[in-house]
Chain A
Amino acid sequence: MLHFIQQLGSSTRTSFAKLGRATLFLGHTLTGAVDVAIKPRLLLNQLHSVGVLTFLIVTISGLFVGMVLGLQGYNILSDFGSEEALGIMVAASLVRELGPVVTALLFAGRAGSALTAEIGLMKATEQLSGMEMMAVDPVNRIISPRFFAGFLSMPLLAALFSMVGILGGHLVGVGLLGVDDGSYWSQMQANLDFYDDIVNGVIKSIVFGFVTTWIALFEGYDSAPTAEGVSRATTRTVVNSAFAILGLDFILTAMMFGDI
């Protein structure tokens, strides 16, 4: 029993220490905004590796998620004779929840793990240390551009996901199952609110982008400089990002849509 309590204590202590390190790291990363502003090329390179390379997986997943929503939604709604509500069902679930959340999860799996592995490897091969000895701040030079790239791509990716998903739902609902084209769009437009739904969805994806990129970069930077350390850090990135995304999603949803 005493052993258990001791373990609880020590793990609390280490996680607080880690949180502290992560916060300092974030602060340091944000100061790199200056470097990014001076050398926009750094940001552009990272937008390529973070955004463009995640583009494909996000659009393809979006299409299939939208198609499945169209199919499932139709089956349920046709029982109540309200197939024309398919548009609003697909759009609301995508814009409010699935767009930001699934994109963030995909992002953590594709870009986040890659970032952690990249930074961890740079640390293990002493590239970060070497840069420091060359009087170049590795956090500002290497981490910051990646952070801003991740943080900027996320809302764009989430919007893409939602758009492709809505089109996918249209493909199945209108194209295959014969829902009226006009009511698909008009129901959607009548019931989705620009501020409540679209803007809130974008805010969610910005928050997720911030947190996921932060976790990925910090885990890489904080990893043990060995092959094993890097692989562990990569796993932690995906797991911790998933927890953070889903937990934050609940909090944000409660704040935005709930009456809590």
Chain B
Amino acid sequence: MQHTRTQDTLVGLFVAAGIVALFFLSLQVSNIRSFMPADTYVITARFSNSGGLKVKSPVTVAGVRIGRVSNIYIDKETYESVVEMSIESKYDTLPEDTSATIYTAGLLGEQYINLDPGGSFDYLKNGGRIEITQSAIVLEEVIGRFLFQKAAE
């Protein structure tokens, strides 16, 4: 019965390798970890234009990712874009006068929110709101303005 035993071993190894691969893909390659109900709290910010920002775009402080955009919708009265961000709970020391800016990674890369902490000693809590915001730079507008100025000269 030696034959069946090696066969069993090989089949076992094969199945184990396959399962390892599935786990590898799930954990190492995809964003499943951010799906885990990790402790987060939500803050919002209003922008006059959120540009190419999308749900799941990163939220960073000084270049380090501390959360993600969890929702984007429009305020029907003010016509402003309201961006909800889920921030990991361990980063719970964001001052109330933090400002939010939409940046672009590289010239044509994806857009993300950078938070610039202020000097207040009161921290943002769940449901808190960032007052100071700077909208996304829309490339067409910048180029348009530049051309307009050149023409005026």
Contact = CB atoms under 8 A, between A and B. Distances in A.
**Secondary structure dominating the interface of B:** helix
Contact of B29 (A55, A81, A164, A166): A166
Question: For this complex, into which size category does the number of interface residues on chain B fall?
Answer: 20 to 34
A213 B10 CA distance: 21
Given A159-B21, A192-B31, A198-B25, 18 more contacts: A44-B7, A51-B11, A51-B15, A91-B29, A95-B29, A156-B17, A156-B21, A157-B18, A163-B21, A188-B30, A189-B31, A192-B29, A193-B30, A194-B26, A194-B30, A194-B31, A198-B26, A202-B22
A116 to B, nearest CB: 22
A155 B11 CA distance: 15
B17 A55 contact: yes
A95 B25 contact: yes
A190 B58 contact: yes
A110 B25 CA distance: 25
Contacts of A33: none
A55 B18 CA distance: 10
Contacts of B31: 189-194
B33 A189 contact: yes
Interface of A: 44-45, 47-48, 51-52, 55, 80-82, 91, 95, 153, 155-157, 159-160, 162-164, 166, 185, 188-194, 197-198, 201-202
A62 B72 CA distance: 39
A159 B14 contact: no
Contacts of A197: 30
Contact of A44 (B8, B30, B33): B8
B14 A185 contact: no
Given A52-B10, A55-B14, A189 B29 contact: yes
B35 interface: yes
Interface of B: 7-8, 10-11, 13-15, 17-22, 24-26, 28-33, 35, 58, 65, 106, 108-109
B22 A80 contact: no
A198 B29 contact: yes
A163 B20 CA distance: 9
A252 to B, nearest CB: 18
B107 to A, nearest CB: 8
Contacts of A160: 17-18, 21
Contacts of B15: 47, 51, 156
A51 B13 CA distance: 11
A194 B20 CA distance: 16
